[in-house]
Amino acid sequence: MSVLGIYLGFSVVVLFITFMALLGHGIKEKETPDIILGVLGSIIIVIMFIYAVFEYYEPKAIEVYQGKTTLEYKVKDGVKVDSVVVYKEGVKK
């Protein structure tokens, strides 16, 4: 897992705790705006977390070894300037 992934995961947890605290305060003090913001914020954070879990996926070295991916090069003036790992069609991630 990359540093960015760890940072994003930590941020999601902190935001979720913040919105849950806001929700708890709203319920305790009977303040409707805090309750609404706490519920909506928590729902949005949960959706973001689920999206991150299912969409943040990078090819692993074993998948390259097993032939599930190919390495494509970008060539400029006859020189390889960039490369990218691409999944082959029909291969499950």
Measured distance CA(25)–CA(59) in Å, rounded: 43
Residues 88, 89, 91, CA angle at the centre, nearest 5°?
Answer: 75
Q: Supply the range of the domain harboring residue 72.
A: 60-93
Judge whether residue 4 has pLDDT over 70: no
Query: Same domain for 89 and 68?
Result: yes
Would you give the DSSP letter of residue 39? H
Query: Same domain for 1 and 41?
Result: yes
Report H helices in 56-79.
61-65
Measured distance CA(86)–CA(69) in Å, rounded: 5
pLDDT in tens, 25-82: 788 888 788 778 778 887 888 887 777 777 666 666 666 667 777 888 888 888 888 8
Structure pTM? 0.46
Query: Same domain for 37 and 65?
Result: no
Domain count along the chain = 2
pLDDT in tens, 57-67: 666 666 666 77
Judge whether residue 1 has pLDDT over 60: no
Query: Same domain for 71 and 52?
Result: no
